[in-house]
Amino acid sequence: MAVYKGIKPYEIITSVNADQLHALESDPRVVAILTSHPDMPDAYERLVYPLAKDKTVDYVITHYDKFFKRLPACMQKVFKNEDAPPLHKLWAPHVLKCE
């Protein structure tokens, strides 16, 4: 999901490849790319819903920084091409510490 600044608050993108992620990363209108890590398919249910409680989906998305954490470069291997730079706008509901 891409979160935009300005008129268009967010856009739900169901399937994204590495090239599309880098296009979103370089788009100055996009402030965040929200995702769950493929190793944790139920991340939203387990990690976001308990924090969000009675908040709407719109609230969670527009206040993503309360529910998601920036994904460090060491966890981005599954999201990008190997030689590509890190994705600074990529956020996930759970971030493991990198070794």
pLDDT at position 38 is 66
| 11 strand-pairing partners | 2
Contact residues for 86 (Cβ-Cβ < 8 A; gap 6+): 73, 76, 80
Q: Which of 13, 17, 14 is nearest to 79 (CA)?
A: 17
pLDDT at position 35 is 84
pLDDT at position 3 is 76
pLDDT in tens, the chain (99 residues): 677 776 667 787 777 788 888 899 999 988 998 887 666 777 778 888 888 999 998 888 888 899 988 888 777 777 777 778 888 998 888 766 666
**At residue 52, what are phi and psi to the nearest 5 degrees?**
-75, -30
Q: What angle do CA 20, 4, 89 make, to 5 degrees?
A: 55
pLDDT at position 55 is 93
Helix (H) or strand (E) holding 25: helix 18-26
pLDDT at position 7 is 60
